[in-house]
Structure 1
Amino acid sequence: MAGPPRPAQPRPVWFEAAADGTIQLFTPSDSVKLRRPRRDPRASIVVAAPPGERERRVSVTGQTTVEAEGARDLAERLAARYWDLDERADDLAAMVADELIRIVRHPERVRRFAF
């Protein structure tokens, strides 16, 4: 018998909206972030405009898969987007030295809001 729904566990994450329509994240293979999608693949992600910008957001819900391949390449692409790699090359090297796992969100419902 299934228990009650578990509350959401919001966390800031780096993400990539892939050409195939999925949303991809990565995490170390020993991360507690992997417990939930392995137990219950339903998930959501919410992206909101930063403070000071006009209010807008996107909410995406759907199933999640956990993939062993592609996490290192994803981490390198995202690091180049979020960091100045001239200053953070050592941080990136340390990050990808860990065994990484790719988390793929498969959107089933997308909601947009702008005000």
Structure 2
Amino acid sequence: MPKKDGLMVAADILKLAPEQRIIFVSAYVKEFVEKPVRQLKADIEVFQKPVSPRTLVEVVEDKALYEEIERLGGNAKKIREEMNPTHRQLKQLVESMRKLRAKYES
């Protein structure tokens, strides 16, 4: 991009929509990108190229979070279809389910 880099664009997006999920895919070494991204203090994921199309689809569709919901005893299909939660809501749900499981297992 000639006038702005990805971090500048992400900062602009977050000013308009602070809850927006952002996925960076960069040719730079992942560790080089992660530190400046953390300074944005937002829900940002970083991947280093090359990334397979399948991996990108799984990330966008929150496959790992839905699998974790199933593993924790939830009905991921029903949650997806009836609630259509945001990425942030899914993360919060998984964290809550983990806490409940830990509480009842101890």
Query: Into which bin does the TM-score normalised by the smaller protein fall?
Result: under 0.3
Q: TM-score, normalised by structure 2?
A: 0.24
Relative to its length, the structure with more strand (as a share) is 1
Highest RCO, 1 vs 2 (Cα 8 Å, sep ≥ 6): 1
Larger Rg: 2
Q: TM-score, normalised by structure 1?
A: 0.23
Relative to its length, the structure with more helix (as a share) is 2
